[in-house]
């Protein structure tokens, strides 16, 4: 089902025509030059339109229902993936997927928030908002990786941890805090990618990494723009204003040292071409993993400590 | 469980207006409930915004627990615990120092770490102006104070959030100071006692505030290696990013009675689940019942409880 945001309509229409022409061109090479011309035009238009997007429009893209989710990347980036379930304490949490697989031949552990597209999936995935069990499953995975010396890839895509009654009863705070602490002391490479929404503590619980990549149209924030607007102006309608003031888009994240690299998305955004989005991310992940391969196990922990140690702005 | 007094309102902002000192001889037979240690002798501290001035009769305050009116002098001498119902009213950092630390003395660290405005944040009011106002009203430089102190003779690294300073919110300065608290405790091999009272991460510093959770937890993680106790004290209220970092990860978590502690705010939860929350939700007794804290300590017992824990966990024979 195609969801199209108003501001992306001209781009989507052109991309759709390119796709149609590509079909034709595969059967009849007379369309080859026309295809090239249209592809260039679509890419140019996409770049022009998307360069002018407001922070809130970027947030809308990060939440786009057709945007690739963690499982879409897992199926494209990892071989032999085996999903592992449960926190061994209380329950399985569908909002967070985890498992082991192979990345360019190497065994790795994968953890990520998972949203749903259909209403049935959304219920199963709880809209990508984990309960404490999700974070405790993540902790299990980190410890598994540590024991068997496997690199960890995490994928962040959540509005936040679930603010529910049961979540409070079962220690949402403790689960998030513990996940952060456990990540901080791991002696294996950890690479986090913010693929969509990086919503507050529920995101950070998967984000204490040696390298943090952010997709071009993702965001990472202490609070959702809607939550911020509700607190400051008692009105969620001022979310666009909050999105601008909070400085949550990829360029700001790079500027503040929150992100180490921005991963460019396909023309029109990651949702226009999941394969291409995964290919671009693959290149960045592989480079980051290679980059960390010189560090010793203690060196990896120290590298992560220093990475977060310097974050903040104060007068001294 | 014993019936509890009604929900306290969120504490008012502590004002720093100087008050005349009442002479030192205000020792009283103390609290209405069970007493195991006498509270240290003290003088009344700063007033709070809920106090009412009544001409010729000094200051009065209505208990948020039972509604009984007490003089501020009386309340202050009991460390803001209501003599009628035992309700614990919010208390200034200076009072916590007097309650918990020997001679109320703190050798402060890192007061030179001061806030800046990385986002140039403004929401009708500039962040820099909010900071100035908080500093003027509390007399504090930021929302946490840290340093070296003694607790019943035991040298400790001590930290305390100041809820009166922008809701005790954690921005870069709070994160940096807490990180230094754990780093210093690691190098000096000191146990840590950290008092939490915070609404969470500070919105006005955006994503940098969120990252303080990772920074402080990394420092705490390192501190574990020296095998000195970390006692987390949870005061009313502790929520959001502070609850979800150092607050629940003490070797022992001590909570004061009837405090509100949790990850999400009650209104957010109610609108998410579309139902009213049960009475006592996210209160100290709720946390104890659900296995999230080790012990509830009223102020009359707080220092003694902390001393016992520090002493026992250090494994020293008496
Ligand atoms: Zn009372």
How do residues A277-286 score in pLDDT, each as one tens digit?
A: 999 999 999 9
pLDDT for B31 beyond 80: no
Centroid of ligand 1 to alpha carbon of B62 (angstroms): 8
- Angstroms from A164 CA to nearest CA on chain B: 5
The more confidently predicted of residues B123 and B173 is B173
What local confidence, expressed as pLDDT, does residue A22 receive?
Answer: 87
Chain centroid to CA B5: how far?
A: 20
Alpha-carbon distance of A150 to A179, in angstroms, equals: 17
B174 touches chain A (CB under 8 A): no
- Optimal mutation site among A129, A134, A168, A192, interface B, most CBs of chain B within 10 A: A168
Helix A274-292 and helix A70-77, axial crossing angle in degrees, nearest 10 = 70
Contact criterion met (CB < 8 Å) for A163 and B263? yes
> DSSP assignment, residue B226?
G
pLDDT for A232 beyond 60: yes
How do residues A79-128 score in pLDDT, each as one tens digit?
A: 999 999 999 999 999 999 999 999 999 999 999 999 999 999 999 999 99
Using an 8 Å CB-CB cutoff, list chain B residues near A248: 206-207
Residue B314's nearest CA partner among B191, B193, B214, B201 is B191
Chain centroid to CA B37: how far?
A: 20
Using an 8 Å CB-CB cutoff, list chain A residues near B124: 232-233
What local confidence, expressed as pLDDT, does residue B1 receive?
Answer: 38
Alpha-carbon distance of A183 to A205, in angstroms, equals: 8
- Angstroms from A159 CA to nearest CA on chain B: 13
The more confidently predicted of residues B230 and B4 is B230
CATH number of A58-309: 3.90.226.10
Q: Above pLDDT 90, what percent of chain B?
A: 76
Residue in B with minimal Cα distance to A307? B215
The whole-chain average pLDDT of chain B stands at 85
Using an 8 Å CB-CB cutoff, list chain A residues near B210: 200-201, 204, 220-222
Burial grade of A52 (CB within 10 A; 0-12, 13-18, 19 or more): exposed
What local confidence, expressed as pLDDT, does residue A1 receive?
Answer: 52
Contact criterion met (CB < 8 Å) for B203 and A184? no
Contact criterion met (CB < 8 Å) for B119 and A178? no
Contact criterion met (CB < 8 Å) for A305 and B241? no
Confidence of residue B46 (pLDDT cuts 50, 70, 90): very low
Residue limits of CATH 3.90.226.10 in chain B: 93-313
Residue in B with minimal Cα distance to A205? B214
Q: Residue A52 has which token pair?
A: 């002018």
Centroid of ligand 1 to alpha carbon of B66 (angstroms): 4
Q: What is the mean pLDDT of residues B263-278?
A: 90
Whether the CB-CB separation of A301 and A186 falls below 8 Å is answered with yes
Q: What is the mean pLDDT of residues B71-77?
A: 91
Q: What is the mean pLDDT of residues A129-137?
A: 98
B16 touches chain A (CB under 8 A): no
Using an 8 Å CB-CB cutoff, list chain A residues near B273: 164-165
pLDDT for B259 beyond 70: yes
Using an 8 Å CB-CB cutoff, list chain B residues near A174: 248-249, 292
CB pairs under 8 A between A and B: 186
Angle at the Cα of B189 from the Cα atoms of B140 and B299, rounded to 5 degrees? 50
Q: ipTM strictly over 0.95?
A: yes
Centroid of ligand 1 to alpha carbon of B88 (angstroms): 8
Centroid of ligand 1 to alpha carbon of B277 (angstroms): 24
CATH number of B93-313: 3.90.226.10
The more confidently predicted of residues B213 and B50 is B213
Using an 8 Å CB-CB cutoff, list chain B residues near A126: none
Alpha-carbon distance of B81 to A100, in angstroms, equals: 54
- Angstroms from B2 CA to nearest CA on chain A: 20
pTM here? 0.90
Contact criterion met (CB < 8 Å) for A164 and B273? yes
């Amino acid at each position: 089902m195609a969801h199209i945001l108003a501001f992306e309509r001209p781009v989507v229409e052109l991309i759709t025509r390119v796709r149609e022409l590509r079909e034709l061109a595969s059967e009849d090479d007379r369309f080859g030059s026309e295809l090239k011309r249209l592809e260039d035009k679509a890419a140019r238009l996409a770049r022009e339109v998307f360069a002018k997007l407001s922070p809130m429009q970027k947030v809308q893209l990060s939440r786009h229902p057709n945007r690739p989710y963690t499982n879409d990347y897992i199926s494209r980036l990892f071989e032999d993936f085996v999903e592992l379930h449960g926190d061994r304490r209380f329950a399985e949490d569908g909002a967070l997927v985890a498992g082991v697989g192979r990345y360019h031949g190497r065994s790795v552990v994968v953890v990520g928030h998972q949203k749903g597209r259909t209403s049935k999936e959304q219920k199963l995935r709880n809209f990508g908002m984990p309960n404490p069990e999700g974070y405790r499953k993540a902790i299990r995975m980190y410890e598994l990786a540590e024991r068997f010396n496997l690199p960890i890839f995490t994928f962040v895509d959540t509005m936040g941890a679930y603010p529910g009654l049961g979540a409070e009863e079962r220690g949402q705070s403790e689960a998030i805090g513990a996940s952060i602490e456990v990540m901080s002391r791991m002696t294996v490479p950890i690479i986090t990618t913010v693929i969509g929404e990086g919503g507050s503590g529920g995101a950070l619980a998967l984000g204490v990494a040696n390298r943090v990549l952010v997709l071009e149209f993702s965001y990472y924030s202490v609070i959702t723009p809607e939550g911020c607007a509700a607190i400051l102006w008692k009105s969620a309608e001022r979310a666009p204003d909050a999105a601008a003031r909070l400085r949550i888009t990829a360029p700001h994240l790079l500027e503040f040292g929150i992100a180490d690299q921005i991963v460019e998305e396909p023309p029109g955004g990651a949702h226009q071409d999941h394969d291409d989005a995964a290919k671009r991310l693959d290149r960045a992940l592989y480079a980051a993993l290679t980059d960390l391969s010189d560090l010793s196990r203690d060196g990896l922990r120290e590298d992560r400590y220093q990475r977060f140690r310097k974050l903040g702005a104060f007068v001294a | 469980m014993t019936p509890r007094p009604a929900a306290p309102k969120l504490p008012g902002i502590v004002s720093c207006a100087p008050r005349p000192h009442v002479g030192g001889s205000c020792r009283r037979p103390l609290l209405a409930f069970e007493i195991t240690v006498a509270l240290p002798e003290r003088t009344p501290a700063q007033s709070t915004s809920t106090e009412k001035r009544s001409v010729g009769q000094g200051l009065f305050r209505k208990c948020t627990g039972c509604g009984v009116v007490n003089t501020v002098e009386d309340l202050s001498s009991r460390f803001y615990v209501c003599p009628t119902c035992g309700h614990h009213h919010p208390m200034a950092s200076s009072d916590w120092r007097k309650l918990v630390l020997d001679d109320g003395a703190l050798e402060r660290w890192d007061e030179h770490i001061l806030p800046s405005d990385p986002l140039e944040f403004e929401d009708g009011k500039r962040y820099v102006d909010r900071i100035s106002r908080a500093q003027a009203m509390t007399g504090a430089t930021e929302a946490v104070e840290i340093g070296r102190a003694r607790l019943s003779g035991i040298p400790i690294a001590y930290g305390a959030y100041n809820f009166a300073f922008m809701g005790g919110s954690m921005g870069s300065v709070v994160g940096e100071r807490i990180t230094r608290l754990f780093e210093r405790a690691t190098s000096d091999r000191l146990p840590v006692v950290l008092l939490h009272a915070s609404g969470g991460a500070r919105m006005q510093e955006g994503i940098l505030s969120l990252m303080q959770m990772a920074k402080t937890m990394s420092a705490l993680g390192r501190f574990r290696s020296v095998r000195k106790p970390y006692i987390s004290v949870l005061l009313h209220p502790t929520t959001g990013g502070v609850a979800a970092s150092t607050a629940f990860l003490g070797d022992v978590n001590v909570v004061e009675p009837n405090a509100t502690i949790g990850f999400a705010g009650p209104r957010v939860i109610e609108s998410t689940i579309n139902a009213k929350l049960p009475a006592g939700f996210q209160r100290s007794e709720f946390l104890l019942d659900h296995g999230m804290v080790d012990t509830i300590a009223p102020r009359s017992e707080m220092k003694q409880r902390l001393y016992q824990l520090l002493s026992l966990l250090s494994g020293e024979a008496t």
